[in-house]
């Protein structure tokens, strides 16, 4: 039996940066610095769904947490996360180890330690000045918050870490 029984869950764009808001990706496809050590360690990878891509697609603007913190988006997150939660449950019941969940700090959806706020109202233009008002603040993105709650409801404890959305995409420890 060659399987390691070790699994990590990665935010979708760590394995596919094509899902990110146009102009934001720091790497062309997969984030090698995260994935290569996992492969070398024999850790299996589950790719989380990208909540923004599956909600409003590739032509979306960069938005803030306030804009995603709405009932329809939260319901969407719950719906796409339930199959993931069921998989985690089943793996744990069968003796597998979930080594962690890796999000993307700074993201309004996938931030673990930090998210971004700064909605300034209405159309994104010079008058509303949202681009200048965006700031990174401590807190979880909308989808990570919901995933945390869903796991808590099932009494599942998994550690979270994150890459940084900007700069060198460095990884906080698992």
Measured from the CB of residue 93, what is the shortest distance to ligand SF4 in angstroms?
Answer: 27
**Among the residue ranges 77-85, 88-96, 107-115, 155-163, the one whose residues contact ligand SF4 (CB under 6 A):** 107-115
Task: Determine contact, residues 54/84, Cβ cutoff 8 Å.
Answer: no
Neighbours of 51 (CB within 10 A): 29
Asked if 112 is part of the footprint of ligand SF4 (rule: CB under 6 A), the reply reads no
Cα–Cα distance measured from residue 86 to residue 154, given in angstroms and rounded to the nearest whole number: 10
Measured from the CB of residue 49, what is the shortest distance to ligand SF4 in angstroms?
Answer: 8
* Options 31, 65, 84, 107; binder of ligand SF4; rule CB under 6 A: 107
* Options 98, 110, 116, 147; binder of ligand SF4; rule CB under 6 A: 110
* Options 38, 52, 81, 140; binder of ligand SF4; rule CB under 6 A: 52
Structure-token match 């319901």, residue found: 75
Helices (H), 57-173: 65-68, 71-93, 130-133, 142-153
Asked if 115 is part of the footprint of ligand SF4 (rule: CB under 6 A), the reply reads no
- Exposed (0-12), middle (13-18) or buried (19+): which is 46, by Cβ within 10 Å? middle
What residues line the site for ligand SF4 (CB under 6 A)?
A: 11-13, 19-20, 50-53, 104, 107, 109-110
């Amino acid at each position: 039996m060659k399987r390691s029984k070790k699994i990590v869950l990665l935010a979708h764009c760590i394995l596919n940066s094509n899902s990110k808001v146009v102009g934001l990706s720091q790497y062309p496809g997969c984030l090698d610095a995260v994935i290569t050590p996992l492969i070398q360690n024999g850790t299996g990878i589950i790719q989380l769904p990208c909540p923004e891509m599956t909600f409003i697609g590739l032509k979306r603007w960069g938005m803030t947490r306030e804009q995603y913190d709405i009932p329809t988006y939260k319901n969407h997150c719950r719906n796409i996360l339930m199959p993931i939660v069921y998989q985690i449950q089943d793996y744990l019941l069968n003796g597998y180890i979930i080594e962690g969940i890796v999000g993307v700090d700074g993201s309004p959806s996938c931030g673990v330690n930090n998210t971004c706020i700064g909605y300034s109202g209405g159309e994104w233009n010079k008058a509303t000045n949202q681009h200048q008002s965006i700031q990174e603040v401590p807190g979880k993105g909308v989808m990570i918050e919901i995933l945390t709650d869903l796991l808590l409801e099932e009494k599942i404890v998994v550690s979270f870490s994150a890459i940084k959305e900007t700069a060198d995409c460095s990884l906080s420890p698992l």
